[in-house]
Structure 1
C-alpha cells in the first residue's frame, strides 16, 4: 500500500500495536551499487497515527545502512512475530539517522523484555535473546522515516500484497 492521496493513515491501530510489540525487527538498505545491507532493530517508536517510525539500532553494526540512508534515504523495515510468522514490511525514501531520547531508551528496554517473552514461547533461553539484542544504550541511534509503502509479508498466498486495514 502506498500513501493514500487523501492523507489517511497508512497503518491502522492494530498494525501499530503489532510493530510496538515483541516482534523481530530487520532493517534493509541498498547503496548505488545495488548491494543490500541489513541490521537488526532493537525496538522502535511509532507515532500513534503511524505517520512516523523510528527504529533503534546499534551504531557500530549499522554503519553501512547509515551510509546508504545518507546517500539515498531508502529504507525497508520488516516486523515479524516469530511464534506466528505474521510479518509486515514498511518502506520509505525519506529516512534519516537520529539521536535517541531518554524516552526512547525506555522503549528499547521494554522491547528487549517483550522479545525475550516472545522467543521464550518457542523455546529460546532468555540469556541467548538478551545477547542477541545487547548494545550499550550510549551506542544506539535511530533510523527515522515516514512510511510510504506497506505490505503483508506473512508467508502464504497474500505475501507481498499491499497491507490492508486489520492485517
Structure 2
C-alpha cells in the first residue's frame, strides 16, 4: 500500500493529545446555516491523524446528526481541560453509523482518560461518568478525514490554521 502523498494536517504532539482522550465538542450546521452542537462521549483518532471518529448520543443529538447527514460537514474541537490547549478539525464528508461492540474499547479508554483530565481541574470521576454516561445502542459513530485544522488555544494564535506537517 502506498503512503498518502498529502501532507499531514496534524503534528504528532497534537495527535497524541487528541488520542489520549480529551474533551471533544462536535458542531455542524444545517442547510439553513443554523448551528448544532453536542459533547462527544468518546473519540478515536488514527495514529497518523488522517481519520477521526467521535461518538454522540442519538437521543441527545438529533439536530446535530440530521445536520451532518444532510450536509456531510462537521467541526470538532478537542481541548485539554487543564491547559486549554485546543485544536479544531473540519471536514466536509462525515459518515454516520450506529456504534458497535467493536467501539466499546475506544469508549472505555476515552472515559478513563477523561476521568483523569477532568480530575485535574477539580471534578471527581462521578461527575465525569455522569457527563459521559451512554448506552452503546444509543450512540452514533461519526467518522471523517479532517480537511482543515486550526489552533484554538486561547492566545495570539487562536483561529490560525495549522501549517501542514511533512
8 Å CA contact retained: 1:22, 1:117: no
8 Å CA contact retained: 1:45, 1:104: no
Q: Secondary structure at the match of 2:150?
A: strand
Q: CA–CA distance in 1 between the matches of 2:101 and 2:68?
A: 24
Map residues 23-38 of structure 1 onto 2, 5 A cutoff: 23-38=22-37
1:68–1:21 Cα change, 3 Å: same
Q: Structure 2 stretches of 5 or more lacking a match?
A: none
The answer to whether the aligner puts 1:19 opposite 2:42 as a matched pair is no
TM-score (norm 1): 0.90
Per-residue deviation, residues 32-60 of structure 1 (Å, max 9, x unmatched) = 22211001111212122222111011111
Identify which range, 96-105 or 156-165, moves more after superposition.
Answer: 96-105
Q: Which residue of 1 aligns with 2:83?
A: 84
Q: CA–CA distance in 2 between the matches of 1:58 and 1:16?
A: 24
Q: Which residue of 1 aligns with 2:95?
A: 96
Q: CA deviation at 1:21?
A: 1.8
TM-score (norm 2): 0.91
Q: Which residue of 2 aligns with 1:118?
A: 117
Q: CA deviation at 1:100?
A: 2.7
Q: CA deviation at 1:124?
A: 0.5
Q: Which residue of 1 aligns with 2:137?
A: 138
8 Å CA contact retained: 2:46, 2:52: yes
Q: Which residue of 2 aligns with 1:156?
A: 155
Report the number of matched residues.
Answer: 161
Q: Secondary structure at the match of 1:135?
A: coil
Q: CA–CA distance in 1 between the matches of 2:21 and 2:29?
A: 26
Q: Which residue of 1 aligns with 2:47?
A: 48
Identify which range, 92-101 or 151-160, moves more after superposition.
Answer: 92-101
Identify which range, 83-92 or 33-42, moves more after superposition.
Answer: 33-42
Per-residue deviation, residues 87-127 of structure 1 (Å, max 9, x unmatched) = 00000010111233433211101111110111111110211
Q: Secondary structure at the match of 1:60?
A: coil
RMSD: 1.5
Question: Which segments of structure 1 move beyond 3 Å, counting only runs of 4 or more?
Answer: none
